[in-house]
Structure 1
Amino acid sequence: MSTDAPRRHALLEITAKSLRAARPDDRGFVRPKALGSFDVVVGPASVERALAILAQLLEAASQQGIRFRADRESWNSVAQLAGETISLRLIEDKARSKHKLTTDERAYTKADLIFRRIPEWDYSPSGVLAFQVTEPGVYDTRRRWGEGRRGPLEAKIPSLLDGLRKIAEAMAEARARRAVREQEAQERERRESERRIRESKVRSFQDAILTQVAGWDSATRLREYVEAVERKAAAGGPGPTIELVRWSSWARAVANSIDPLARPTTPWEMDVPEWEPAR
């Protein structure tokens, strides 16, 4: 007995017990309700055959290192192989026939109550079984194995297992492509972030140097203005008054406070960005 035989037996046992006890829905299909069941949707007449096919699948998969389990969170049955998880189900196709009016529907029709929607078709189990891959995201591979002129579903199990390997390979390749795209997107974002930071530093430097120029220009003009006031005062009297001296001192202090050349640090000690302006 293989190491996963108890697990396979438990999956089959839970599925069989729940499927056999299930009640048909309004279309005549049953499915297991127990947690830990394989995802099966068939007609009551196909229950035993579906369980036999499932047992055959689990045995063949085990011999090839493929494990099946029931996902307790999503309620999907999944195959695990090559590091991938692929959800799939065993289903019975629906047979379609022209809808037969019920007694109530005949009454509605006779009373001309058009607001009552009457279906055009009736659906019921067809007796035709199939495995359907329900895993999203990989659509360029085969996803369905049914029965027909080429044989019953029991004979399609080797093809199904081979198809699951191809799907696993496609999923791995798709994930690798996504990883490359994500890495490229991250690299673009990194370069864009660096560009934004660089441009921000350039704008900050430009604003700072233009502020320095404006401060230097205002300080220079203020000193010239102080000198002009002092010359006018000297021309009109014997000498500077206390008020003029105080005013001149304050005015020169204001000039020094806005003059970048009067500060302890020199303008060229600024953090210059790695950028050269257009010439």
Structure 2
Amino acid sequence: MTGQADAKRAVIDTSAAQPARRYNYWLGGKDHFAADRKSGDELAAAYPAVRVTAIENRRFLKRATQFLTAECGIRQFLDIGTGLPTADNTHEVAQRIAPESRVVYVDNDPMVMVHARALLTSTPEGRTAYLEDDLRYPESILASADLHETLDLNKPVGLMLVAVLHFVHGEGAAQRVVDKLLDALPSGSYIVASHSTYDLAPAEMVEAWEKLVAAGKVDIWTRQRAEFTALFDGLELVEPGVVPVSQWRDEDEPQPRPALADVAMWSAVARKP
């Protein structure tokens, strides 16, 4: 595509913090720059639990991918908001269980795409593809030839929207994106989502975070449980339903589990009937 797609693409800017690189920094990765570290440290000073949240969100992605692959028979994944490669990326988790699994990764950060193409290699039986695109333009993602060459949208797909919907600003804006993507997927598909929230945080941390948002230092639109839950209207929520990201089927995770005040994300998995 040209025009709209070209307008969404950006050059790698090392002078301004980027969410994917900042997230990589919190996870202990090495693909970040001074601006990302400065921003990450500033956010962590206001909300010390942000690193715990990042780690727990990553663990949720792994558990959810294992569930879809091993228990639901999903062999195709559309992972939007991929982030920089780290341990246990979606295709690695899925292909350990089912080597034939296929994954399309989507991100709007050109650095993410450079690293993904270089590092995220598929098994011979499966396939991975990479789209430089933006969640806010689901029509563009769904029109991609690379997506249709990799995934068969007549068969169930695991739609992964992990820690990305909070970059879609506006009341009801995330609902439109989710509905558009799910409308293109057949019955038996699943959605996996996590989302930043103030619901679980103490008041003083919320106040500190809101000051960063007002200053333009955080590009995140938090949502309360009710609005996040509404994203799954008409779908079949998988047990245990909408829970903090650290509590979704976490029985085999290291104990003790984090306190709720240290986790700033809701999570859920649901099936399209």
Give me the TM-score of the superposition, normalised by structure 1: 0.27
Structure possessing the higher radius of gyration over alpha carbons: 1
Q: TM-score, normalised by structure 2?
A: 0.27
Larger proportion of helix? 1
Higher RCO, Cα 8 Å, sep 6+: 2
